[in-house]
A and B are shown apart, each in its own frame.
Chain A
Amino acid sequence: MPVTMAVLAAVASTPLAAQTSQTGPISGYMDFHVNKRQFEDPVIDFHRFVLLFSHSFSEHIRFTGEIELEHAFVEGLEKAGELELEQAYIDFLISRRFNVRAGMMLVPIGIINERHEPPVYNGVERPFVDTVIVPTTWFESGAGVHGELGTGWRYRAFVMAPLDAAEFSAEEGLRGGRQKGSEAVVHRPSLTGRVEYVGLRGLQAGAGFWTGAANVSFRRLTSAVRVAEVDARYHRDRLELRGQYAHVFIRDAAGLNDAVERTSGVSPNVASQLRGFYGEAAYRIWNRGAPRDLVVFARYENFDTQFRMPAGAVPLTEFDRNAWVTGITYFPDPDIAVKVDYTRVGNASAIVRPQHQLNLGLGWWF
């Protein structure tokens, strides 16, 4: 009776704790932090409260949604917090090789942008490279295709609303230029995609890109953005390694700086190239087979939002930065992360003093 054996074998092998653990129609993740910057008072912040929803219309048509509240509340000004619709898409699951997705989606660039639940990365804050070079969390409206070819080769390619270069900045690069699907103006759509290999146990490696015009606000400019990125994660036994390199090219940055200065009085000093990379090693020092884990890690980051400047522009050297992030992540449960890290930052400026930071954090997924 093979069916009975299949059911008996499945039930017998699944521990009782897992049988009683249920996931309802709502999932989510949360994290809150205590950040102590050098020379400043500590700040406690409920950084993220995120809920995910899913619904299956049929075996082949599914909805996924994600709403995020940052910094606890919103009162109309961005500084007070953000309430964002990060994902809301329909998947038409046609075959393993080819599927269609449409709606609000995550841009498939970088390790963190598509994989940022708190227990999944070390450090209280997300890597700097994934903040100021790849503007995580980067999401936009669009449509595209995804699938898997062979064994372990996966792809996704989306057409999305473009960035608005008028909102770029010297300190945070592309970050302010995300339209976030909110009445996004599409003078010309952008194209983004990723190819990754997950066919070897413990290894995930990929490369992503973004290309498209960014002259949403200044139509007479030829502003355009290209992002090229490669990343890899590998874990074996107690060791995990990860690394990422991202390079951003902004066409006609000189024209952009001039246009913004003419309309606001201040040049944003946007670079024509941004560059960032990091490497991280983590070691699971408490690995006795129980669900609890203790991980120590160290990460070096180099992120320069003024890497190359357009002719006539001078780089702001305080934005040529690097950081060592070292710390511990304790998992009382695989879905709960207690984090402590010390972030030592540096920059190329002889005037602006960098501020090191001690961070404490608690994050969870359910």
Chain B
Amino acid sequence: MAIPERRWIGAAAVLLALAVAGDAPAAREPQPERPVIRISAERFSFTPSRITLAVGDEVEIRIASQDTAHGFRIVGSETEIVVPKRGSGDASVIFRAEKAGRLTFECNRMCGAGHNFMRGEIVVEPRGGPGR
């Protein structure tokens, strides 16, 4: 006998709540604010096009388009979102720098003749390394 649809919805809601609750601090202390890095997406560039972090940093990358819808994808990861058209809101990605290295991000949604120029870089430096 098929499980009623509302039970699937209920199960998903429970899983979602558990996922969120699992990250809530047990003592319900206020979470430190996560730094926000704002990126402007516009044919055909991201500004800034380079983000420098230290290992262990966790940031919110918030992207806003100045024109059409763009994509934001971190190459080599599963992070891939749509940046809405101008006036339709921002897109956000929570990024945690797990290890030192360089990651490329790019627009993965055709936006015009110069689409392939829309790329950037996340540089993760060792904590206490150059400049830190």
Give me the interface of A with B, judged by CB distance under 8 Å. Answer: 1-2, 4-11, 13-15, 17-19, 21, 23, 27, 29, 52, 54, 59, 62, 64, 66, 87, 91, 93, 96, 106, 114-117, 119-120, 146, 148, 150-152, 154, 198-202, 204, 235, 289-293, 333-335, 365
A18 touches B69 (CB 8 A): yes
Q: Is the CB–CB distance between A148 and B47 below 8 Å?
A: no
Interface centre among B23, B75, B86, B88 (most CB of A within 10 A): B88
Q: Which partner residue on chain B sits nearest A198 by CB separation? A: B45
CB-nearest residue of chain A relative to B102?
A96
Q: Report how far A87 CA is from B117 CA in the complex, Å.
A: 14
List the count of A-B residue pairs having beta carbons below 8 Å apart: 149
Q: Which residue of the partner chain, among A13, A64, A154, contacts B115 with CB atoms under 8 Å? A: A64
**What chain A residues lie within 8 Å of B75 (beta carbons)?**
59
Tell me, yes or no, whether B114 is within 8 Å of chain A by CB: yes
25 sample A-B contacts, Cβ–Cβ < 8 Å, listed by A number: A5-B23, A6-B93, A6-B94, A13-B62, A15-B89, A18-B88, A23-B109, A91-B116, A96-B104, A115-B43, A116-B113, A117-B43, A148-B49, A151-B49, A151-B50, A152-B47, A198-B45, A200-B47, A201-B40, A201-B48, A202-B47, A292-B87, A334-B85, A334-B87, A335-B85
| Contact call B81/A119, Cβ cutoff below 8 A | no
Q: Measured between alpha carbons, how far is A4 from B83 in the docked complex, in Å? A: 19
Least CB separation from B112: chain A residue = A117
The yes or no answer to B96 lying at the interface (CB within 8 A) is yes
Residues of B contacting A87 with CB < 8 Å?
A: 113
Instruction: Note all chain B residues with C-beta closer than 8 A to A148.
Output: 49, 119
Which residues of B sit under 8 angstroms from A115, Cβ to Cβ? 43-44, 112-114
Tell me the dominant secondary structure on chain A's binding face: mixed
Q: How far is the CB of B95 from chain A (nearest CB, A)?
A: 7
Bound complex: CA A166 to CA B6 (Å): 75
Do A15 and B84 touch across chains, with their CB atoms under 8 A apart?
yes
A62 — which chain B residues lie within 8 A by C-beta?
116
Q: Is the CB of B60 within 8 A of A9?
A: yes
